Amino acid sequence: MFHSSFTRSIRLGINSLLLHKLRSLLTTLGVLFGVSSVIAMLAIGEGASEEAQEQIRQLGSQNVILRSIKPLEDKVSSSSYGVNAYGLTWHDFERASETFPWVENSIPVKNIVQEVRFEDKVINPRILATTWEYQNVTGRIVHRGRFISQADDDLVSNVCVIGYEVSRLLFPGLESIGQKIKIGPEYFKVVGVILPRVPLSDDMPKVNTSVTSEILIPLTTGRRWFGDMTVKIRSGSREMEQVELNEIVLAVRSPEQVPYTASASREMLARHHQQKDYEVVVPLELLARAEETKRIFNIVLGCIASISLLVGGIGIMNVMLATVTERTREIGIRRALGARRHHIMLQFLVETVVLSVGGGVLGIALGVFVPVLVEYYADMRTIVTLSAPLLAFGISVSIGLVFGLYPAWQAANLNPVDALRHG
Amino acid sequence: MLLLEAEKFMKVIAELRNVSRTYQMGGIAVHALDGISVPFGAEEYWAIMGASGSGKSTLLNILGCIDRPTGGSYFVDGCDTNDLDDDDLSRLRGASIGFIFQSFNLIPQLNLLENIMVPLFYQDGSTSDGAARAENLAERVGLADRLSHRPSELSGGQQQRVAIARALINDPKIILADEATGNLDSQTASEILDIFSELHSEGKTILLVTHEEKISHQAQRVLRLRDGKVDLIK
């Protein structure tokens, strides 16, 4: 009995709404756009956060990365011959390896600034000279061929592993393994292709670097051919920089060891460096920061969404109030025919909920569709979780209930005599 | 004399006892009804007459339980309406009173069959045979072939027939008709009045509000109001 009267109420509500199709559609627009923006923004936010987390995970959540940074200009110790010497040193590397027994692996990394040529193509990728263990601690994926081996390092071989982007740029349509590329004045044989590493937001490539990917060569080879000196030609003057090591990656056994490894490293570096020419990057901390950013994003999103849904709800309430006035006579008739207050109340409440749920369902459809477009055109990752449409549906039902309550209450409390005389 | 004797034994279905209805209009009390006492016997056909402003409409509202007296009591089937709350009154309306209005008052977005069925939905209990009953009633008022039509597609006479069918769906004891023929041409009006006579002969109590003397002749009994007071009971 209840079931049939309930479905009848819904059918009745839909019928009344279909009587004014355009009006009903316009009324639902507020909720429609509110709901779709909630879903779309959640999907985009979720995608962006997922991407950021993956980038950080690529750095390795069990790593602590010590990195050389150029100190502020006025603090640069002007050493002899106009050479700017700063950054991490081999002493730092040895100290770190020796004093932190829990560190499983410490890997030195040097950045090499050289042009890379193949035939007539010239690019300026990020070139890293490092050891074969680099792959293990950073989780690089070998796409084809192999990574740098210990033998390469021992033999000081002229081999390199190139990023996917580099391979695509230098050897479009060609097999890249076995090709010889020229780094600076030296020829290097390509032995492997790795999938591109996505740069950290605060580790963006230099402006004049046309390729975001990287080339890896054995550390010994890098030291042999390129030394520690970097010459930069800038606006007519030449500037020389000497950096022994650009990065030291410390890998520990478990994430719990990360915080004290980080603080011990900071302490150690502070003791041996007069100036702040280093930084300690902790991916785990970045991960926590990314979580925090996501939380803030969600709060902001929640506020925007609530406002738009509030506006949508008010729109619906407004129309329902007008509808109650318009249908005062109908209410009077129904009351005269035996309708109790709660019947009238239910009728209008159901109508409002049908309206807002209708908007909600259309909004869900639109909200699921928009991320697809965003993914396609803006090349951003989006993730539509199942909970988002469910949440949106729940929200639209409650909007109907909340904003339908007052108009329905008003309809139910009309005096039957006056209502019958109306219009 | 014999008639009066019979009246004493006749069951009273609705009774006004010293009923008053006072409106407050801008601080001034207007007495629309002023101490009216009328017993309406079961299965009687009453014409309620009076000039406009005599309190006919107010009386009808009270008889129909959509308004309450401000003084006195109104009994329906032996039950004092003063003791009923809003929901009870609604139930009573739905079950015992069939309304027929001057302007038909069908619900525009519902079709003929749905209109007839409206009172069913507000009654407690099963309505499983409702559609069949509604179809029977539609057939009875001669509209069986127009079940899916909307009110706007029907003539005035047809709409009033639908309203009559709707008033009958819950098989009420009392039919309240408010100037039911007022918006109809004389031919259609007499058809509608024939239906009322028929209903009366089937045992319904009919209370017909009208200002036309001619119509009142159809009725068995006449109540005439003047200035909110009983002018004549015949």
What would the pLDDT profile of B189-225 be if each residue is shown by its tens digit? Answer: 888 888 888 889 988 899 998 888 888 788 888 888 8
In a domain, A281, yes or no: no
What is the domain partition of chain B in residue ranges?
Answer: 11-233
Q: Give the domain range for residue A254.
A: 70-276
Contact between A315 and A28 under an 8 Å Cβ cutoff? The reply is no
In a domain, A189, yes or no: yes
In a domain, A81, yes or no: yes
- Domain B11-233 carries which CATH code? 3.40.50.300
pTM: 0.72
Assess whether A7 and A128 both reside in one domain.
Answer: no
A285, two tokens: 């901390």
Report the pLDDT averaged over residues B87-112.
89
Assess whether A100 and A219 both reside in one domain.
Answer: yes
Q: Would the pLDDT of B6 be above 70?
A: no
Q: What is the pLDDT along chain A (423 residues), one digit of tens a residue?
A: 455 667 877 887 888 888 888 888 898 998 898 888 888 888 888 888 877 777 777 677 788 888 888 877 654 555 545 677 788 888 888 888 888 888 888 889 888 888 888 888 888 888 889 998 888 787 777 778 888 898 888 888 899 998 887 888 888 888 888 889 998 888 999 998 887 554 444 443 332 233 347 889 998 888 888 877 776 666 666 677 788 888 888 888 887 888 888 888 888 888 888 888 888 888 888 888 888 888 888 888 888 888 888 888 999 999 999 999 999 999 999 999 988 998 999 989 999 999 999 999 999 999 889 888 888 888 778 888 888 888 888 888 998 899 999 999 999 999 888 898 876
Nearest to A338 among B91, B107, B125 (CB): B91
In a domain, A63, yes or no: no
In a domain, A62, yes or no: no
In a domain, A385, yes or no: yes
**Closest among B50, B62, B52, B54 to B18, alpha carbons compared:** B62
Nearest to B64 among A5, A336, A343 (CB): A336
Q: Would the pLDDT of B142 be above 70?
A: yes
Strand B71-76: give its sheet, edge to edge. B28-41, B12-25, B71-76, B79-80
Bridge-partner residues for B39, per DSSP? B15
CB contact under 8 A, B107 and A16: no
At B89, the amino acid letter reads: L
Assess whether A39 and A77 both reside in one domain.
Answer: no
Cβ burial, residue B132 (10 Å; 0-12/13-18/19+) = exposed
Nearest to B66 among A8, A329, A336 (CB): A336
**Closest among A363, A224, A279, A283 to A88, alpha carbons compared:** A279
**Closest among A394, A407, A279, A343 to A39, alpha carbons compared:** A394
Q: What is the pLDDT of residues A254-310, one digit of tens each?
A: 878 888 888 888 888 888 888 888 888 888 888 888 888 888 888 888 888 888 888
Assess whether A76 and A162 both reside in one domain.
Answer: yes
Q: What is the reported pLDDT for A333?
A: 92
CB contact under 8 A, B90 and A338: yes
In a domain, A353, yes or no: yes
Assess whether A247 and A191 both reside in one domain.
Answer: yes
Domain boundary among A241, A276, A311: A276
Nearest to B107 among A4, A330, A341 (CB): A330
Which residue, among A337, A347, A348, A422, would best test binding to B if mutated, counting the most B CBs under 10 Å from its CB? A337
The mean of the pLDDT values for chain B is 85
In a domain, A61, yes or no: no
Q: What is the reported pLDDT for A202?
A: 41
Q: Sort out which chain B residues have CB atoms less than 8 A from A422's CB and list them.
A: none
Cβ burial, residue A82 (10 Å; 0-12/13-18/19+) = exposed
Q: Sort out which chain A residues have CB atoms less than 8 A from B90's CB and list them.
A: 335, 338-341
Report the pLDDT averaged over residues B63-90.
89
Assess whether A51 and A88 both reside in one domain.
Answer: no
Contact between B12 and B40 under an 8 Å Cβ cutoff? The reply is yes
Chain B residues 51-70 with a CB less than 8 Å from chain A? 61, 64, 66-67
Report the pLDDT averaged over residues B89-106.
89
Assess whether A195 and A234 both reside in one domain.
Answer: yes
Assess whether A202 and A314 both reside in one domain.
Answer: no
Assess whether A246 and A142 both reside in one domain.
Answer: yes
- If you measure CA to CA, which chain B residue comes closest to A335? B90
B127: confidence class by pLDDT, cuts 50, 70, 90: low
Q: Is B76 helix (H, G, I), strand (E, B) or coil?
A: strand
Q: What is the reported pLDDT for A233?
A: 63
B3–chain A nearest CA distance, Å: 34
Q: Would the pLDDT of B5 be above 80?
A: no
